[in-house]
Amino acid sequence: MNDFLNAILLGIIEGLTEFLPVSSTAHLLVAENMLGLRKGDWEVFTVVIQLGAVLSVVAVYWHKFWSVLIGLPSDPKARQFAINVIVAFLPAAVLGLVLIKFINAFLLDPVRAMPVIAVSWIAGGILILLFERIAPRPRYEGTDNLPVSKAFQIGLCQCAALLPGVSRSGATILGGELLGVERKTAAHFTFYLAVPTMLGASVVELYQQRAALSASNLTTIAVGFVVSFIVAYIVVKTFIDFVGRYGLKPFGWYRLAVGVILLVTLLAS
């Protein structure tokens, strides 16, 4: 029963935080640490529930992906969209493959990562509040109209999310804004970019952890997957309008608050 409840809780956390600029990896690591879950026992679970979050993006934007797929042979905008996503995906994919052993051994360890997460949360919160003030007037609107150079630069911003506590969506949306990309356009592109990025990372991790898959943990994995999909679907459906109305500042203040709480807790322990 405890594993079942933990699966629901972690599924909710993954679904809520994967596409918000607060770092889902950091929240999962903190939650696993608080619950006393051993890293090895829940690594595969964490990978699979990320796939649930990825599937939610496909479900919400299936019409966009389908129109691009069938338009590739004849539609220049469809080809431009595909090229932009691929170009933006490559920097994090290459860097992630190079650093994967170091990331898994040190940065994703539930205990070692705690100070890094606390500092990243605080620093990220400050940067969000600062950069939201100084972001230039948007010059690019519409994901189909992004120049390849801007897509690549957004992809470089995504690399920062390899560090626990640095949000992938936060890095790409904020980076896009600083590059002159309209906020909603940057948010949409972030969701599209999440599909190959998260799918690729999950497939690599799942292959490496395939020995840990067993009939005994399939139930908890399935529960976490479904919960993550449902919660992430709701977040993806509502996030664009929220960001368009309020910007990223609420998440900046949230990051500051949880970062300070975590840092104080670590210093007091």
- 101-136 residue pLDDT tens: 777 666 666 677 889 899 999 999 999 999 988 988
**Residue 1: pLDDT above 60?**
no
Q: How confident is the model at residue 263 (pLDDT cuts 50, 70, 90)?
A: very high
DSSP assignment of 199-233, as one string?
A: HHHHHHHHHHTGGG--GGGHHHHHHHHHHHHHHHH
Residue 61 tokens, joined: 């934007």
What is the model's pLDDT at position 162?
Answer: 84
Residue 41 tokens, joined: 């026992």
What is the model's pLDDT at position 130?
Answer: 94
Helix or strand (DSSP H, E) at 52 = helix 39-60
3-state DSSP helix/strand/coil % of the chain, to nearest 5: 85, 0, 15
List the domain range (segments joined by +) for residue 188: 2-268
pTM of the complete model = 0.90
Residue 258 tokens, joined: 């949880």
Q: How many domains does the chain have?
A: 1
Rounded to 5 degrees, φ, ψ at 140 are: -125, 125
Q: What is the DSSP letter of 140?
A: B
Q: Which of 8, 125, 144, 11 is nearest to 80 (CA)?
A: 144
Task: Name which of 63-72, 100-109, 148-157, 229-238 the model is least confident about.
Answer: 100-109
Q: Are 13 and 225 in contact (CB under 8 A)?
A: no
Residue 208 tokens, joined: 């490496």
Q: Is 142 left (phi over 0), alpha (psi -120 to 50) or beta?
A: left
